[in-house]
Structure 1
Amino acid sequence: MSIIEEALAALDLETKVRLLSGQDFWTLPAIPEIGLRSLVMSDGPIGLRGIGWRPDDPSVALPSPTALAATWDPELARTAGRVLGQEARRKGVHVLLAPTVNLHRSPFGGRHFECYSEDPLLTGEIGAAYVAGVQDQGVGTTVKHFVANDSETDRFTVDVRVDERALRELYLAPFERIVGAGAWGVMSAYNGVNGSTMTEHADLQIGVLKREWGFDGVVVSDWTAARSTAPAANGGLDVVMPAVGDPWGEALVAAVRSGAVPEEVVDDKVRRVLRLAARVGILDGASPAAGAPSTLDGAAVAREIAARSFVLARNSGGLLPLDPARLRTVALSGALAADARVQGGGSALVQPARVVSPLDGLSAALGGATVTYSVGADPRRRMPVARGPQWSGITGVLRAADGRELFRASLPTAYVRWMGDPPPGVAPDEIAELALSARVTPSVGGAHELAIVGFGDFTLTAGGRTLFEGSLYRDRDESAVFRGPAEQRFPLDLAAGEPVDVVLTQRGGNPGFVSFAIGHAPPSPGPDALLDEAASAAAAADVAVVVVGTTEEVESEGFDRTTLALPGRQDELVSRVATANPRTVVVVNAGSPVLMPWADEVAAILLTWFPGQEAGAALADMLLGAAEPGGRLPTTWPRHDRDALPVTPTDGALPYDEGVFLGYRADPADPLFPFGHGLGYTDWAYESLSIEDGGEAVTVTVTVRNAGARPGREVVQVYIGPSTPDPSRPRRWLVGFAAAEAGPGEAVTVRVPLPERAFQVWDGGWRKVPGSYLVEAAHSVADRRLTAELTV
């Protein structure tokens, strides 16, 4: 009998059921009598937060999943996974709640930035490599959210209506690829699919995932997604998280005793949990699946991924790369140039040890040139968190009701946020007060503003004077948690150079979710004057760089976007600067597509996604030519809001009426930027395309030559489609890709094997469609260079 079977046999029903639910927000219970330690889970996908507040233990913050997919580099994705696996081991976490492999059905989707692509093949390849990298370190993954969880509006209740063919060919395909590659966990989604909520969806969770695909891992609910006892247990769910709202426990024991849930169903779930425990090394006597722990430099990997992900969307006249030897002045503008948005909003936020802003990165790289900075336009609805050289001694303190200090830590910014446990050694019921204190020494005197950002009962003092004492709340619907806490602003006259102590105290215990901050805004001449200042600086500079993007109030988990337009007056800022200086580079700091009414007015456009903690360093590498912009778009960027699919349900249902015609497969007539698009600093000639048809195996061979003057990297994309258009199928679809790297004048040959699935459709089962196909080697879906014909 195996270790797992021995352990299972030693458990009574009550203990087995106890193992299937969270004991708190992030962990499963230990069972010492069988040598099982507590299983710890934590959010990803770009960093490892851990299970509570650990300000002295920051997290590596890698670029967003959209950025990782834009590299079109599975090996780099595996490296990203290894970094997160080693971070998990360092923080005592056994299971990473990532990756998100739902599709970019619509750029309105709030978690678009947390997913990889509109294409299932690209999503599957990047996701499988990421999972392999994490699991290389003996850390589990939970591939999420199974399935069709592609938007946020009414996400707990929406019923997605998707036909079986589209479900199989598009939405299930990445999960199938990653499960086939050996994922140890899958997360069941909030939404319903075709009439059944996913946590109870036996046809998909048992019929497809466990039986058809042979998945031997654990299906864990999204947090609070499980709402029933017997239907969820019989529907294929294995673990309910978190402890709050758990519908199992004694109710599941009773359901087994009554016969509503067979005990062998519970046994199968426990067996899966024990198997996962064995793999991650917390079951005595079982051999863990870990290889040698990696020792990667997380910051270096973050910088490499960022630079490799940046997409050069436009480069009129070859403005980029800039020659630092010829630059005397660079006019940098945009609020996000100084306060870079390096990650998306929502449950997966992490706190890195440092963030390199574009202003920091360019200033450091251009030691011989002057970098001027102007805010220009500020898209942030809430006041930015207090940080930077004007603020010193930022400290967080937890106190008991009798005034005893329970915990103290220095903080990089005036922001406290955690989900789960307080710091080690502090009991949640001991905490009566949480305080943020700092000293501000203004560089400019005048009318400053301070703000409280948070939920709860607060006292704010500045210089010993009470500015606020009272309660701050907002509507506590589910999206409010992600849209951000309430904000209250207070004017305060400060003198330049004179320090003032600021203290924000939140009264009350630890509810398991804490989020509050001190905001600060210096005196401002007003929005019109800020635009004038940026335009004037641009006119006097050799080159202008404008950083625009989204904010947490626009792009986040918990809600969808209502427009793709940039918030605030950022479009006006770009137009004003471009008019003042024809040598204008626009850096788009957004995790998902945005509208660009000024796209034809500017010389260069660089898409940087949410670029992680090394944002500014990677940007300097790219702008100054130290790195090649090798990124390619993993999704289509629409030109207008009307070109994007809707995400708002009607009468509780969201129909996927487009079927298999998603994104580029719908053959959009006039996208802003097409799928696969991305320029480089060199040119590529596509010289030959040949097909090796071995019957069961088909391989496409493509030779490309670097026709430019710089070394470079080209992503060779291979598409196929029926030679004679078939209205029931897309015109073409991606079937493989490979990277070619070469110096000037060098030729490189790449081989792209075509999967059997490339020629199949779902028709109650997978069926090969015989006939003649066009095989195209392409720089993007809209820039197809070579064509051959293949008959299957």
Structure 2
Amino acid sequence: MNIEETLTKLSLPQKMKLLCGSGWWHTEAIPEAGIPAMRLSDGPNGVRGTQFFNGVPASCFPSSSGLGSSFDVELARKVGEALADEARAKGCHVLLAPTVNTQRSPLGGRGFESFSEDPILNGTIAAAYINGLQSKGVSATIKHYVANDQEFQRFSISSDLSERALREIYLKPFQIAIRDSNPWALMTAYNRVNGLHVSEDKRLIDDILRKEWGYKGMLMSDWNGVYSTAESIKAGLDLEMPGPTVMRGKAVERCLIAGKLFSSDIDDRVRKILELLKRAEESRIPFDAPEESIDTPELRKFLRTAAADTIVLLKNDRDVLPLPSDAKKIAVIGPNAKVAMTSGGGSARLLSTYTVSPLQGITAVAKDIGADVKYAVGAAVHRYLPMLDSCIQQKDGSPGALVEFWNNDPSDDFLAPSANLSSTELKKCDWSTPTPGTDCFLMDGIDVTKVNLNCAIRYSTVFSPDESGDWDVGMSIAGRGNLFLDNKLIVDLSTNPEQGESFFGLGTIEKRAVVKGLKAGQRYNLEIRINNSEFASRGSPFICWGGIRLGGVRQFDGDEAIKEAAALAQESDAVILVVGLNHDWESEGFDRPDMDLPGLTNPLVSAVLRANPNTVVVNQSGTPVAMPWIDEAPTVIQAFYGGNELGNGLADVLWGKVNPSAKISLTFPKRLEDTPSYPSFGDKGQELGKIQYNEGIFVGYRSYEIRKLQALFPFGFGLSYSTFEYSDLETSAVSPDGTFSVTFSIKNTSKVVGREVAQVYISDPQSSLPRPVKELKGFVKVELQGGETKSVKIDLNREALGFYNDRQMGWVAEKGKFEVSVAASSEDIRLKNEIEFGSTITWTGL
């Protein structure tokens, strides 16, 4: 493609058409001009493809907070390469990832999507991920630019912060990734910064991003994140997503007539879209290609490695781990053990090609060593009832359920709660499709040539409980409808359904009922009937036929379940207790109200530890949780969300097949009140649509250190089955332009091969402005055989010495003495030295 020649040949209406997407996942095509539609896809830990409903399965990789905790640049690059393979299989040219927003608070709903609280680690891992992805021709989309750090009022909230905090903490990871990897696309955030929406902020987009940093890529909005026409185009926002347009189209034409926009403004935006299209053509990823899955032994092996390498060993006081191979009675306990919690919720969720739960991974090892495994749930922690995917099949024995659509009600009493399903004949449906599960967001995957937006829907399947007893069954829908079991009404959501948070706020609450005396393995006919006419008339922000979410779980007494779990633990040789959060608690769309583990988790942990003090506690969450039982637990693992292979990866660490080497990329506080953003986060401390970033530059470990406040686990902390010794620190002289090197040795003082993450921090005690006690400026991950010593070198430059000066509107590295610390964590300093910089320098840009 000759971009300038193509631009000259396009008519103004054609150019205007290119300024907005076509539907949810494509750019507009101009066939008569030889311009195809590029395909985009979520998200940070997998490539979902073009459908929420009945999408083509994909591999789920570990969450970004886990990948950041690996401190492994090579692993991040390999994840990017593997995601590129997934994207190519889906015909995807642009992946909407990675997320590099700073983890300002553990309560942030999308915290698991970001790499770290530290800008250096955040930007460095992001750059490696992007380089891997783009090495195979798939465009990265670094997001969400900038200060999009909470979900509360995310479309309107103004993140109000100082210029220095903006530059040093929140813009810095974007700056690093752009400098080191050149992402081909960037996504602007929903929110405002200091009063102005980012998507129309000329200073952030044009002055800083394009002119100061020299960024050449294409800028798109977050979905439904454009709130102006002329302003967003003038600021430099190239593409409004998704389509059809809301703020462009005819509005652009009106602005051109009024002189608020000029043809050159349109050309500037279209040029960037064409530049990305040229890259898409050069990638040789077909346009409008069918979507496929990848599932190979090699990929499974890599997913397993990635899952294990993102696990952090937080405590191992009694050397309980690695587990011995002679344990014959193994107890697996906990609400996160039986079901694979592969990722957080929202844009990150996808239909995995397969999953391995912790119980499955541990059971596989137990089979190899001749051990017996018993399981107890211990506590219920669901915010919404667990989906019933594993307990349903169609009447003919096929997996899943059948979903049928009628453009008109198929019978007079179709939606009546008193409908007699056994005697009512329904006319032939207009279209039908099977679906694998009980969570159906009907915003795509529908044959639009046969199904109207206003329609009647029937979801039918056979439910076979996996446990006998009384069951809680719950349903939420987008529309009006009813749930029947063996022709009996169970849940009525057709009569004044109460609005809830389901389906991005479009659906009802989850309404629950108790079904008595269900028998394990018995077949029950299950049917859901919906009419979506009222839902469709409410005005969804996107095309949608409604939604169905069905869940259920056997009822049990919480206290009794804890007693059963404790009794099992007491009689077992090894106990693995898997607790934590899931995509119901950590998700796009809302923030967590607190740091607590849900339900009766904490009483469960304490009871099991009393019954068997050598219990291994595994916490699975994307961000920190409170651990009131931490002093009772000798062995604690932080597992994050591990993707497809999380169960096998965990088992590999538990039995020592993999020596843990990750270190937490964010500080774990003892209590919420200790966090730097408390209480100015979410719905706390906000006034008139603003949230004040009162902590300034003192985010994460920087805040704990300046306040001399002890964390539960400090930034950069993680244990190993090996032990390491640091020595021989040497620092070179600092050159006039601020470059220098740090050299030191690491020895593995154990007999076990292991990997150590060494961190270099810089302190500036003579600074003219307040600075953190120390700041991470470099790191290295080193693999060492037992007894082996290696010398490592980390090269640093002026950025390791500098800070942002608001008055000078630029970066400055002042002359004077600096302290260099080599550390195993932000609190565990192993070596120190002093360097001196001879003259002050200032700079702007990259």
TM-score interval, normalised by the smaller of the two chains: over 0.9
Which one-letter code corresponds to 2:746 in the other structure?
Answer: V
- Aligned residues: CA RMSD: 2.6
- Provide the secondary structure at the position in 1 that maps to 2:631: helix
Q: Cα–Cα, structure 1 residues 562 and 708, in superposed 2: closer, same or farther, change >3 Å?
A: same
Q: Could you give the per-residue CA deviations for residues 40-72 of structure 1, whole angstroms, max 9, x where no partner exists?
A: 211101111112256372011111110110111
Distance 1:454 1:270, change over 3 A: same
Assess if the C-alpha contact under 8 Å between 1:66 and 1:114 holds in 2: yes
Secondary structure, aligned partner of 1:736? strand
What residue number does 1:773 align with?
818
2:438 counterpart of 1:439: no
Quick one: distance in 2 between partners of 1:750 and 1:295?
38
Asked if the contact 1:103–1:150 (Cα under 8 Å) also holds between the matched residues in 2, the reply is yes
Tell me the equivalent position of 2:186. Answer: 186
Structure 2 matches for 1:461-540, cutoff 5 A? 461-468=484-491, 470-471=493-494, 473-475=497-499, 481=505, 486-508=510-532, 511-512=543-544, 514-524=546-556, 526-540=557-571
The Cα shift of 1:5 comes to 0.4
CA 1:284/1:142 → structure 2, altered by over 3 Å: closer, same or farther? Answer: closer
CA distance in 2 between partners of 1:692 and 1:683 (Å): 28
1:455 to 478, 483, 486: 478
Partner of 2:725: 685
* TM-aligned CA deviation for residue 418 of structure 1: 5.3
User: Cα distance 1:53–1:203, how it changes in 2: closer, same or farther (>3 A)?
Assistant: closer
Unaligned runs of 5+ in 1: 288-292
Deviation at 1:18, TM superposition (A): 0.8
Q: Give the deviation of 1:674 after TM superposition.
A: 0.2
Greater displacement, 636-645 / 398-407: 398-407
Superposed CA offset, 1:451-501 (max 9, x none): 223322223232243434543744367995399853333424323443222
The total of aligned residue pairs comes to 782
Q: Distance in 2 between matches of 1:390 and 1:19?
A: 44
Determine the C-alpha separation between the residues in 2 that align with 1:490 and 1:711: 53
Q: Would the aligned equivalents of 1:13 and 1:253 in 2 still touch at CA under 8 Å? A: no
**Tell me, which stretches of 5 or more residues in structure 2 are unaligned?**
288-292, 408-426, 537-542, 838-846
C-alpha deviation, 1:724, in angstroms: 5.0
Measured in 1, the distance between the counterparts of 2:769 and 2:572 equals: 53
Letter aligned with residue 12 of structure 1: S
Query: Is 2:385–2:553's contact at 8 Å kept on the other side of the alignment?
Result: yes
| Structure 1 residue 635 corresponds to structure 2 residue 636 | no
- The Cα offsets for residues 144-185 of structure 1, whole Å up to 9 and x where unpaired, read as 111111111111111111111111111111111122221111
Residue number in structure 2 paired with 1:211: 211
Instruction: Name the SS of the counterpart of 2:47 in structure 1.
Output: coil
State whether structure 2 residue 783 is matched by structure 1 residue 741: yes
Matched residue, 2:235: 235
Q: Which residue of 2 aligns with 1:662?
A: 699
Give, as a single letter, the amino acid of the residue that structure 1 aligns with 2:486: G
Distance 1:359 1:435, change over 3 A: farther
- Pairs within 5 Å for 1:103-252: 103-180=102-179, 181-244=181-244, 246-252=246-252
Partner residue of 2:382 out of 380, 383, 389: 380
SS of equivalent to 2:253: helix
How far the C-alpha of 1:249 sits from its partner, in A, is 0.6
- Give yes or no for the alignment of 1:331 onto 2:331: yes
Deviations 1:68-94 (A, max 9, x none): 101111111111111221211111221
Q: State the 1:34 CA deviation.
A: 2.2
2:410 aligns to what? none
Query: Quick one: structure 1 residues 97 and 496, their matched pair in 2 at CA, closer, same or farther if it must change by over 3 Å?
Result: closer
The residue number in structure 2 matching 1:314 is: 315
SS of 1:335's equivalent in the other structure is coil
Quote the Cα distance in structure 2 between the aligned partners of 1:147 and 1:485: 32
Q: Could you tell me how far apart the structure 1 residues matched to 2:172 and 2:383 are?
A: 39
CA gap 1:581/1:295 in 2 versus in 1, 3 angstroms = closer
How much has 1:540 moved relative to structure 2? 0.7
- The more displaced of 747-756 and 713-722 is 747-756
Judge conservation of contact 1:162–1:659 (CA < 8 Å) in 2. yes
Q: Percent identity?
A: 35
**Cα distance 1:435–1:77, how it changes in 2: closer, same or farther (>3 A)?**
farther
TM-score, normalised with respect to structure 2: 0.88
Compute the displacement of 1:538 (Å).
0.7
Residue-by-residue CA offset, 1:735-792 (whole Å, 9 max, x unaligned):
1111110111001122111132111111211211221111111100100101111111
CA distance in structure 2 between the partners assigned to 1:301 and 1:755 by the alignment? 34
**Pair 1:428–1:305, CA change in 2 (3 A):** farther
Aligned-residue offset at 1:505: 3.6
Cα drift, residue 553 of structure 1: 3.5
**Structure-2 separation of matches of 1:487 and 1:361:** 34
Establish whether residue 712 from structure 1 lines up as the match of residue 737 from structure 2. no
Aligned to 2:304: 303
Aligned match of 1:30: 29
Distance across 2 between alignment mates of 1:157 and 1:24 = 24
Q: Is the aligned partner of 1:618 residue 2:655?
A: no
| Residue aligned with 1:140, SS | coil
Report the CA distance shift for 1:631/1:654 in structure 2 as closer, same or farther (over 3 A).
same
Matched with 1:290 is none
Q: After superposing the two structures, state which structure 1 stretch, 543-552 or 433-442, moved more.
A: 433-442
Superposed, which structure 2 residues align to 1:274-285 within 5 Å?
A: 274-281=274-281
Residues 5 and 473 of structure 1, relative CA distance in 2, 3 Å threshold: farther
Contact 1:394 1:437 in 2 (8 A): no
Deviation, structure 1 residue 127: 0.6
* 2:740 equivalent in structure 1: 698
Q: Deviations over 1:357-376 (max 9, x none)?
A: 11111011111111111111
Shift of 1:302: 2.2
Tell me if structure 2 keeps the 8 A contact 1:346–1:482: no
8 A Cα contact 1:459 1:469, kept in partner: yes
- The offset of 1:436, in angstroms, is 3.6
**Corresponding residue number in structure 1 for 2:401:** 395
The range that moved more, 424-433 or 668-677, is: 424-433
The answer to whether the Cα contact below 8 Å between 2:321 and 2:654 also exists between their aligned partners in 1 is yes
Kept after mapping to 2: 8 A contact 1:452/1:488: yes
Cα distance, 1:361–1:768 mapped onto 2, change above 3 Å: same
The answer for the alignment partner of 2:832 in structure 1 is 787
- Equivalent position SS for 1:243: coil
User: Secondary structure of the residue that 1:301 maps to in structure 2?
Assistant: helix
CA distance in structure 1 between the partners assigned to 2:350 and 2:445 by the alignment: 16
* Partner of residue 422, structure 2: none
Q: Partner of 2:796 in structure 1?
A: 754
Q: Distance in 2 between matches of 1:428 and 1:214?
A: 48
- For 1:527 and 1:294, the matched residues in 2 are separated by 41
The Cα of 1:514 is off from its aligned counterpart by 4.8
CA distance in 1 between partners of 2:791 and 2:547 (Å): 53
SS of the residue corresponding to residue 603 of structure 2 reads helix
Maintained 8 Å contact 1:313/1:606? yes
* Residues 599, 51 of structure 1: alpha-carbon distance in 2 compared, 3 angstrom cutoff: same
Q: Residue 21 of structure 2: SS of its match in structure 1? A: coil
Partner of 2:687: 650
State the secondary structure of the residue aligned to 1:438. Answer: strand
- Which residue identity lines up with residue 304 of structure 1 in the other structure? T
Structure-1 residue corresponding to 2:68: 69
Q: Are residues 224 and 443 of structure 1, via their aligned partners in 2, closer, same or farther at CA, if it must alter by over 3 Å?
A: closer
Aligned partners of 2:177, 2:295: CA distance in 1, in Å?
25
Relative distance call for 1:513 and 1:755 in structure 2 (3 A) is farther
Structure 1 residue 303: deviation in Å?
A: 1.6
CA contact (8 A) 2:108 2:591 kept: yes
2:55·2:351 contact (CA, 8 Å) conserved in 1? no
Shift of residue 309 of structure 1? 0.7
d(CA) in 1 for partners of 2:83, 2:283: 22
